[in-house]
Structure 1
Amino acid sequence: MRRSARFLTLLAAAALALAPALADARPGGGSSSGSRGSRSYSAPPSTTTAPSAPRQFDRTAQQPNAARPGAAAGAAAPARQGGFFARNPFMGGLMAGMLGAGLFGMLAGGGFFAGLGSMAGFLGFLLQIAVIAGLVALVVGFLRRRQQMAPAGVPNAVMREGAPQQAAMTGGGGTARGTGPTDELGLGEADFKAFEQTLIEVNGAWSRGDLEALSRRATPEMVQYFRDDYEALKERGWKNETRDVKLEQGDLSESWSEGPRDYATVAMRFSLVDVTRDVRTGAVTEGDPNVRSMSTELWTFVRVQGGPWTLSAIQQAS
Structure 2
Amino acid sequence: MNTTKVIASCIVLALIGTPAISLAKARGGSGGGFSGGSRSSSASGNIGSRGSRTHDQNGAQPIQQSATPKPATATPPSTATSPSPAAQPTPASQPSFLQRNPLLAGIAGGLAGSWIGHMLFDATESSAKTNEAGDAATQTAGASSNNGLLLFLMVLGAAAAYYFLKVRRTPAPVLSGITRSSAVTGSLLAESSTATFRPATTDLDITIADKAAFQQLLTDIQTAWSKQDLAELKHFVTPEMLTYFSTALAENVSLDIENRVEDVVLGRADVREAWTESAMQYATVGLHWSARDYTVSTKKQRGEPGYLIEGSDETPAESSEVWTFVRFQNGKWLLSAIQQ
Q: How many residues align?
A: 180
User: Is 2:60 aligned against 1:54?
Assistant: yes
Give the distance between the partners of 2:337 and 2:68, measured in 1 at CA.
11
Compute the displacement of 1:185 (Å). Answer: 1.3
Among 194, 198, 202, the residue aligned to 2:217? 198
User: Is 2:34 aligned against 1:27?
Assistant: yes
Give the distance between the partners of 2:285 and 2:293, measured in 1 at CA.
21
Give the distance between the partners of 2:333 and 2:31, measured in 1 at CA.
25
Aligned match of 2:193: 75
Larger-Rg structure: 2
Contact 1:38 1:66 in 2 (8 A): no
Q: Could you list the per-position Cα deviations for residues 2-33 of structure 1 after superposition, in whole angstroms to 9, with x for gaps in the alignment?
A: xxxxxxxxxxxxxxxxxxxxx87721245111
Report the residue type matching 1:73 in the other structure.
E
Give the distance between the partners of 1:25 and 1:237, measured in 2 at CA.
19
Give the distance between the partners of 1:199 and 1:192, measured in 2 at CA.
11
Report the residue type matching 1:261 in the other structure.
M
Aligned match of 1:8: none
Change (3 A) 1:304 1:66: farther
Give the distance between the partners of 2:255 and 2:309, measured in 1 at CA.
11
Among 288, 304, 308, the residue aligned to 1:284? 308
User: Is 2:319 aligned against 1:295?
Assistant: yes
Contact 1:260 1:305 in 2 (8 A): yes
Aligned match of 2:293: 274
Relative to the length of structure 2, the TM-score reads 0.50
Aligned match of 1:184: 203
Compute the displacement of 1:183 (Å). Answer: 8.7
Contact 1:35 1:313 in 2 (8 A): yes
Give the distance between the partners of 1:286 and 1:301, measured in 2 at CA.
29
Compute the displacement of 1:273 (Å). Answer: 0.4
Report the residue type matching 2:61 in the other structure.
R
Aligned match of 1:219: 238
Q: Could you list the per-position Cα deviations for residues 100-147 of structure 1 after superposition, in whole angstroms to 9, with x for gaps in the alignment?
A: xxxxxxxxxxxxxxxxxxxxxxxxxxxxxxxxxxxxxxxxxxxxxxxx
Give the distance between the partners of 2:207 and 2:311, measured in 1 at CA.
36
Aligned match of 1:40: 54
Give the distance between the partners of 1:194 and 1:37, measured in 2 at CA.
20
Among 282, 287, 304, the residue aligned to 1:263? 282
Report the residue type matching 2:259 in the other structure.
N
SS in 1 for 2:234: helix
More helix by percentage: 2
Compute the displacement of 1:187 (Å). Answer: 1.3
Give the distance between the partners of 2:207 and 2:257, measured in 1 at CA.
40
Give the distance between the partners of 1:259 and 1:230, measured in 2 at CA.
33
Compute the displacement of 1:73 (Å). Answer: 1.9
Contact 2:285 2:323 in 1 (8 A): yes
Give the distance between the partners of 2:329 and 2:235, measured in 1 at CA.
16
Aligned match of 1:243: 262
User: Structure 1 runs of 4+ off > 3 angstroms?
Assistant: none
Give the distance between the partners of 1:267 and 1:32, measured in 2 at CA.
14
Cα RMSD, aligned residues only: 2.3
Relative to the length of structure 1, the TM-score reads 0.53
Aligned match of 1:105: none
SS in 2 for 1:314: strand
Change (3 A) 1:207 1:76: same
SS in 2 for 1:265: strand
Report the residue type matching 1:311 in the other structure.
L
SS in 2 for 1:221: helix
Change (3 A) 1:270 1:219: same
Give the distance between the partners of 1:183 and 1:25, measured in 2 at CA.
32
Change (3 A) 1:65 1:234: same
Q: What runs of 5+ residues in structure 2 fail to find an aligned partner?
A: 1-29, 39-43, 74-185, 302-306
Aligned match of 2:251: 232
